[in-house]
Structure 1
């Protein structure tokens, strides 16, 4: 009964319509915090019953800073992204 937790917000608009102003603050990358070892991350997920094909294994780096997690995700270089503003496999990897 904890209720809903908002993790993100979004706005839908016609293509080509700017909906937000780009951030003006400087963002440090890599972020602060402790980098986590992802060497066996997808092997561990497989043992837990989650199997991801190569296209969906996009989590490449992860940092832990207090209650915050920062991640780098990417698609294989030869992935066709035609027709996608945000490729579904990239979004999926961000949720890992």
Structure 2
């Protein structure tokens, strides 16, 4: 899924402003992930076979990665570009730290 440049804008207060469409998309994904986590808790309470639980955990991790990718793309297309244009080149170091965290 590709994000339009106008979907996220960061101000000098370092606050994101997601479009209503993007915010709805992110919240829908996060609600689904929240439900999946509750489902895994239930599986553990019911002593579900470990491989089945691990499969669900893998799906949750993939869904979280997708949310992270959407946020990162929006951040790079707007916040990072905006700060570079304003001469705040330290945003590159900040971005590299964030990418390293996401790649763990």
Q: TM-score, length-normalised on structure 2?
A: 0.27
- Select the structure with the greater relative contact order (CA < 8 A; seq sep ≥ 6): 2
Task: Give the strand-richer structure, 1 or 2.
Answer: 1
